[in-house]
Structure 1
């Protein structure tokens, strides 16, 4: 589903599109007037969060959904590519790109959800009709299995930084919730908008790609906007206090965006994503004394201040914390400067049949090199973190996230397949 050819009329804007444009206009107007609502810029340096109905620009040197101000809801899906034809995979990525352009702008996919031939399925599933764009972002990644020998002619194109994660102590990974050839991270302030996006991409991919596993998330557990209130995880503690800010261009360049000197030129401007499903033993945690909880994290539960400090954003005094404190073990000073951008979400998926809540953290981390980002940090945590008594990693995946789509002629992964 490419763009209209010369002389071909574009479809009339839908009511949803008009609502989306109106929301974006209000956001820009408020920013220009000096109000609290800020606009979202195109390119690699997004502004703080805009009005929750606004549209986030799709085109730019980096994919949206990484440094973008973190939205309230997530629908993450991992896909297996079921076709063995390279041309079909390329066609799928082109079609996904064109659909993503429309959905992130608040438009329906293709010709829309109604009004077409009654004998054919509509191009759009329709459940987002009348809804605003809700800052929807769609971020695509390529898993290690896509580069396997004999698949799609990508031998030798796998970046060295896209490593298979080692087995960490305490891992209890479920193969049905791990891995994948492709991933799509849909973030939005409206859960129905995020679900609609994944549903339509899955429908477009039918016969070429199928969902391997997926995860819904709510209650962001990290923030890329340090001026906003820090969110809390399911254990009740503030999470992401010292995360990389989406406006910190220097830190993003150093720790998140792949540079031209890195090993895979087609990844320049991209990043690497680690996704981990972390089950929390909620019932056991809820019986732990407050002092033990605070010692485990290395922060107080109310203000979020590090041990020995008075305010949340005070520089942590690591030696004042227990050697097993989570903050101490995850800190860059403990891990030779390893720094990642976190974008996780809480989840609850019912109960496990024994009356225990199946809940926890769906951890998402972006970095310039997995070997120097997530791996050393997780090795430190897996070996010594007191929090391990209350959590377990049960799902895992790693993806190369290519650079952004520059214009209407570009598409996800074009540099890889060119």
Structure 2
């Protein structure tokens, strides 16, 4: 150790000197490459998504690279009236702060205003859980479908850790610094009225890595989200028309499921068995019946006397049985530090999918599909739902209005 420690600094200084001299001889080339990269590389930090409108952003807008789902419970020392006042105060602050942050301006009580200067397509989306209605005396205005999902046989829910909350913030952006700052501002400025329960952080491909029309992949390597709604379906299948609850016109429902993946056992499968479990080719997402990713699967196709797409495969179980069973999906991966299990063993990963779906009616559109998947989906051997929640995503607000004004009026 003495010899190594004594000779190391001299060697490092000599190496650095020689390296610097070598780079000096190549200086023109280095500058040319650097200049070329800066000239060609696009900068997206100042891109803005409009906050105000009939609908909240963050649902049908293109998904940015990062998300924070933030679950909070309302806090009040009084009864329903005080709880309602707390909710009204939270929505007032969030509307004002979100409008500024999404425009690239600091929030009103922003202690780090410079962190707000690069909005990077940040969106702030606000949802209410069942408790926001029952605890505030607004039960008669709660959407019919706003209740916990059934307890499925595959669920291993950690409710205290990842379960239902009174309110939800969904904060998306292309820059994790922007998201961290927005999360801090939006939660700190209402700290006396809410209690933070959890933050779930997710990611997709970084912006510019691939064309935004390309379907993302989850951490099992699968193309994830091939079958999805297009803009022509949003009015009829995503946005509420106010027929049952007039105040809710322009809102939607959201299901958030935290799905853990057992990557260690998944990776023990050969690629063919992985494909049979999914029903699609891993390489390009095409159905095993042939064609390309977005071609309709042929569930009657036979190969060597067997169904090309097994009846137990994920896509076979998930396919709609009617035109109603369709919803908008918007998934993000998560990859958190591994945690010891009950026996003290530490797995090699703590990864999974933050699955978010948006639809006009959870009971009619989402629940039947989830019931089939829970009953018998080949992927259930490697995936476990550990978190589940349902929210009413509030209608959008126009300038001068507050999110949820119709509910509280």
TM over 0.5: yes
Report if the CA contact (8 A) 2:101-2:116 is conserved.
Answer: no
From 232, 237, 242, the equivalent of 2:227 is 242
2:339 is matched with 352
The residue number in structure 1 matching 2:366 is 374
Describe the SS at the equivalent of 2:141. coil
1:69 to 59, 62, 79: 62
Conserved? CA contact 1:168–1:382, under 8 Å: yes
TM-aligned CA deviation for residue 344 of structure 1: 1.2
8 Å CA contact 1:279–1:358 kept in 2: the answer is: yes
- Does structure 1 retain, via aligned residues, the 8 Å contact 2:115–2:178? no
Q: Distance in 1 between matches of 2:178 and 2:116?
A: 11
SS at match of 2:110: coil
What whole-Å deviation, never above 9, does each CA across 1:108-145 have from its counterpart, x for those lacking one? Answer: 111xxxxxxxxxxxx21428627511000000000011
Q: Which runs of 5+ in 1 are unaligned?
A: 1-36, 38-49, 111-122
Give distance in 2, aligned partners of 1:91 and 1:393.
Answer: 34
Which residue number in structure 2 is paired with residue 47 of structure 1? none
Counterpart of 1:129 in structure 2 is 115
RMSD: 2.0
Residue of structure 2 equivalent to 1:167: 151
Partner of 2:408: 417
Counterparts of residues 19-418 of structure 1 (less than 5 Å): 51=44, 53-83=46-76, 84=78, 85=82, 86-110=84-108, 123-126=109-112, 129=115, 131-148=117-134, 151-176=135-160, 177-219=162-204, 228-245=213-230, 248=231, 250-261=232-243, 263-320=244-301, 321-332=309-320, 334=321, 337-353=324-340, 354-356=345-347, 357-407=349-399, 409-418=400-409
Retained in 2: the 8 A contact 1:220–1:346? no
Please state which structure has a larger fraction of its residues in helix. Answer: 2
The CA distance in 2 between the partners of 1:323 and 1:220, in whole Å, is 31
**Shift in CA distance, 106/78, structure 1 to aligned 2, threshold 3 Å:** same
Of the two, which has the highest radius of gyration? 2
Q: TM-score, normalised by structure 1?
A: 0.79
User: TM-score w.r.t. structure 2 length?
Assistant: 0.81
Unaligned stretches of 5+ in structure 2?
1-41, 302-308
| Deviating 4+ runs (over 6 angstroms) | none
Inter-CA distance 310–141: structure 2 relative to 1 (3 Å threshold): same
Hey, what's the Cα distance between the residues in 1 that align with 2:369 and 2:273?
A: 23
- Equivalent residue of 2:291, what SS? coil
Q: 1:127 to 1:190 in 2, by over 3 A?
A: farther
Counterpart-to-counterpart distance in 2, 1:390 and 1:128: 43
8 A Cα contact 1:276 1:364, kept in partner: yes
Give 1:227 deviation, angstroms: 6.8
SS for the counterpart of 1:272 is strand
* C-alpha spacing 1:260/1:158, structure 2 compared with 1 (3 Å): closer
Once structures 1 and 2 are overlaid, which stretch shifts more, 359-368 or 154-163? 154-163
Give the whole-Å Cα distance in 2 for the aligned partners of 1:412 and 1:155: 18
Distance apart, 1:341 and its partner CA: 0.6
Summarize deviations over 1:262-296 as a string: whole Å, max 9, x none.
Answer: x2111111000000100000101011111110011
Which digits, 9 at most, give the CA deviation of each residue in 1:287-330, with x for residues without a partner?
A: 11111100111100111111122211111213341111111211
Q: What is the deviation of 1:349?
A: 1.1
Q: Give the Cα–Cα distance (whole angstroms) in 1 for the partners of residues 136 and 185 of structure 2.
A: 24
